Amino acid sequence: MQDSYLNVNLLSYVKKEDVSEDAANIILIATKEQSERYAFQKSLAQNIDKAFAENRTEVIITLGDKQNFITITPNKETEPLRLAGASLYTALQKQQTQTAKLRGLEELTEVERYAFLEGMLLSSYDFNKYKTKKKQLPIEVYIRNRSFPKDKITELKTVAEAVSLTKTLVNEPVNYMDALRFSSAATEAGKQFGFETEILHKEQIEELKMGGLLAVNKGSETPPTFNIFHYKPENAVNEKPLVLVGKGVMFDTGGYSLKINGNMLTMKCDMAGGAAVLGAVAAIAGNKLPYYVIGLVPATDNKISSNALVVDDVITMMDGTTVEVQNTDAEGRLVLADALTYAKRFEPELVIDMATLTGASAAITGSFGIAVLGNSQEKINELKEVGEQVYERLVQLPLWKEYKDLLKSTVADMSNLGGPIGGVSTSSIFLEHFTDYPWLHLDIAGAAFVKENKGYRQSGATAVPVRLLYEFIKRKCKDD
C-alpha cells in the first residue's frame, strides 16, 4: 500500500545549520513560568495567562520577522495533549507553513511529549487518492535531539504508518478494495513491516469446510480469502500466541435482508475489524515487539445474486455446528465463527476478535468508544486500562447465560439472530460458542468510521483499535 496519505517526514532531526532561516517558530508553552521566561509582549502574555486560567489549549499565531505558533497546553493529560498537537498541525496547514522549528518539548515528560507529537502525526493523514486537486502541502517540523529520543520518534512513525495503512484500507471503495486486493495489500504490508502472510483461497477454504465464510460469499463474483499473519520473533516472551481475529466483510449490502433508509452508505467500512488486525500486526512487527502474535482475517463481501444466502437457509460451520440463518445481514458473526474455530489450532493464550458487528453497539457507544465482552475478566480489565491511556475507551456489556436462549432454533443447533433485545450480547454469545480459550470480543461499529473531522481523527476510517492493541501488547512485553 502507498503511504502517501501520511506525512511520515513531519517530524525530523537535522543539524541546526541545515534548518532554513525562513522556518517558522513553534513555541510550546506548558507552564506559566515557562511563558514568563520568554518575555512575550503584554497582550500576548495576557492571552496566555487567560488560557492557563481557563485550562484551555490554544494556538496563537503571531507575525514578525517570522511566523510564530504559540501553542499553549495547560492540561498535561495525554488526550488533551494529542488534541493540542492536532490543533497545531491544523494551524500549520491553514497557514500553508512548510517548515517550522519546535521548542518547549523539554517542559513535558516523555509520555506527554509522545502524546503531543502523536496528535500532530496522526493529524497529517489525508486520503486524497481520488481527488484531482491535492490540498495537502508537505510540512516538516524539526525538533531537537535532546527533546525526544530518536528511537521513540521511529516507534511513533511506525505506529502512525500502521494506522495510516488501516485507514486507507477502510477508506478505499469496494470497486478497488475487494477480498483479493485486501490479500495483496496484506502481503505487501508483511514485506514492509516484517511479518509473514499466508493467504488461503476458495479451494482451501472449501477443504476446511468454512461454511460461514462460504455462505456469505455465495452472492459475490469475487471469491473469498482467508488471511493469516504470522509474527513470531526469536525473543518472544510468550510461548503460546495472542491471536487477533478481524471481520473482513469488504462491503455489506445486508444480502437479501437488504439495508434500507440509507444504511448501506459507508458499508465499505464493514471490514474495519480485518483492517485493524492487519494494522495492529504491522505496528507490532514494525517496532519489533518481542511478542508472538497471529492475525486472522476472513474476507468476502456480502452481496445479492440468484444463488446468494437467504433467510431460512441452514448452513454448517467449520466446527460442525448447524446454523439457521434468520437474517442475512447478521453475516459478520458467520465469517468470524469460522475464524474463531480456526484459531483453536494455535492453542492461543488469548484471542481478541474485532468487528463492526452490530448497530446495537453503535447506539450504546456512539463514536466515543468500543463495546467489549468476553470470558476473561482479567484481560478485559487490562484492556480497559490501556483504552483510557490511548483514548480508545471500552465499555463492558454482559454475557449472561440467559442470552443463549434467544439463539435457539427449532431446525438447527442455533440461530444467527437473537431478536430485538441485547443485540451486542447475543451476537457475542453466538461467537463464544466457537471458542474454547480465553477470548475477548470488541464491537467497534460506533468508533470505526466517523462522519466529521475531530481532533486527530479525519472523517472516514479511524483505525480503531490499532493503537489500543499495540499499547496492550507493548505493556505485556514489559510485564512478562
* 194-233 core/surface letters (b: 16 or more CB in 10 A; e: else): bbebebbebeebeeeebbbbbbbbbbbebbbbbbbbbbeb
Q: Which amino acid would we find at residue 49?
A: D
Helix axes 78-94, 110-123, angle to 10 degrees: 40
Number of domains comprising the chain: 2
| Residues 6 or more apart in contact with residue 10 via CB below 8 angstroms | 89, 120, 121, 124, 139, 140, 141
Q: Phi/psi zone of residue 379: left (φ > 0), alpha (ψ -120 to 50 degrees), beta?
A: alpha
Looking at the structure, do residues 195 and 94 belong to the same domain, yes or no?
A: no
Is residue 214 domain-resident?
A: yes
Looking at the structure, do residues 175 and 247 belong to the same domain, yes or no?
A: yes
pLDDT at 1 (0 to 100) = 41
Distance CA 373, CA 360 (A): 14
Beta bridge partners of 103: 27
SS3 23: coil
Residues annotated catalytic, as ranges: 259, 333
Looking at the structure, do residues 386 and 280 belong to the same domain, yes or no?
A: yes
Q: Which domain holds residue 375?
A: 158-479
Cell readout for 381 is: 480489565
Is residue 143 domain-resident?
A: no
Is residue 2 domain-resident?
A: no
Distance CA 78, CA 75 (A): 9
Looking at the structure, do residues 296 and 181 belong to the same domain, yes or no?
A: yes
Q: Where is 192: in which H helix or E strand?
A: helix 179-193
Looking at the structure, do residues 195 and 127 belong to the same domain, yes or no?
A: no
Distance CA 421, CA 426 (A): 8
pLDDT at 9 (0 to 100) = 66
CB of 272 closer than 8 Å to CB of 380: no
Distance CA 210, CA 318 (A): 4
Beta bridge partners of 26: 69, 102
pLDDT at 7 (0 to 100) = 56
Q: What is the DSSP letter of 480?
A: -
Q: Phi/psi zone of residue 402: left (φ > 0), alpha (ψ -120 to 50 degrees), beta?
A: alpha
Sheet of strand 24-29, all strands in order from the earlier edge strand to the far edge: 11-12, 140-142, 99-103, 24-29, 67-72, 58-63
Looking at the structure, do residues 451 and 342 belong to the same domain, yes or no?
A: yes
Closest CA to 296 of 237, 341, 362: 341
Q: What is the DSSP letter of 5?
A: T
Is residue 142 domain-resident?
A: no
Is residue 144 domain-resident?
A: no
* Residue 232 Cα to chain centre, angstroms: 22
Distance CA 137, CA 152 (A): 25
Looking at the structure, do residues 57 and 184 belong to the same domain, yes or no?
A: no
CB of 272 closer than 8 Å to CB of 357: no
Is residue 6 domain-resident?
A: no
- CATH label of the domain that carries residue 371: 3.40.630.10
Task: Identify the domain boundary among 108, 137, 166.
Answer: 137
For residue 376, with 0-12 CB atoms within 10 Å meaning exposed, 13-18 middle and 19 or more buried, which class applies?
middle
Instruction: Walk along the chain (480 residues) and give the pLDDT tens digit of each residue.
Output: 443 345 556 777 767 777 788 889 999 999 989 988 888 889 999 999 999 999 999 999 997 778 899 999 999 999 999 999 999 999 999 999 989 999 999 999 999 999 999 999 999 999 999 998 876 677 889 888 888 888 999 999 999 999 999 999 999 999 999 999 999 999 999 999 999 999 999 999 999 999 999 999 999 999 999 999 999 999 999 999 999 999 999 999 999 999 999 999 999 999 999 999 999 999 999 999 999 999 999 999 999 999 999 999 999 999 999 999 999 999 999 999 999 999 999 999 999 999 999 999 999 999 999 999 999 999 999 999 999 999 999 999 999 999 999 999 999 999 999 988 999 999 999 999 999 999 999 999 999 999 999 999 999 999 999 999 999 999 999 886
Looking at the structure, do residues 174 and 105 belong to the same domain, yes or no?
A: no
SS3 47: helix
Is residue 148 domain-resident?
A: no
Phi, psi of 254 (to 5 degrees): 95, -10
Is residue 322 domain-resident?
A: yes
Sort strands 439-443 and 350-355 into parallel, antiparallel or unpaired. parallel
Looking at the structure, do residues 52 and 193 belong to the same domain, yes or no?
A: no
C-alpha atoms less than 13 angstroms from C-alpha of 358 in its C-beta half-sphere: 28
pLDDT at 5 (0 to 100) = 42
CB of 241 closer than 8 Å to CB of 294: yes
* Residue 231 Cα to chain centre, angstroms: 19
pLDDT at 432 (0 to 100) = 98
Looking at the structure, do residues 170 and 100 belong to the same domain, yes or no?
A: no
Closest CA to 351 of 370, 376, 377: 376
- CATH label of the domain that carries residue 126: 3.40.220.10
* 122-161 core/surface letters (b: 16 or more CB in 10 A; e: else): bbbbbbeeeeeeeeeeebbbbbeeebbeeeebebbbbbbb
Looking at the structure, do residues 193 and 78 belong to the same domain, yes or no?
A: no
Looking at the structure, do residues 400 and 472 belong to the same domain, yes or no?
A: yes
pLDDT at 136 (0 to 100) = 66
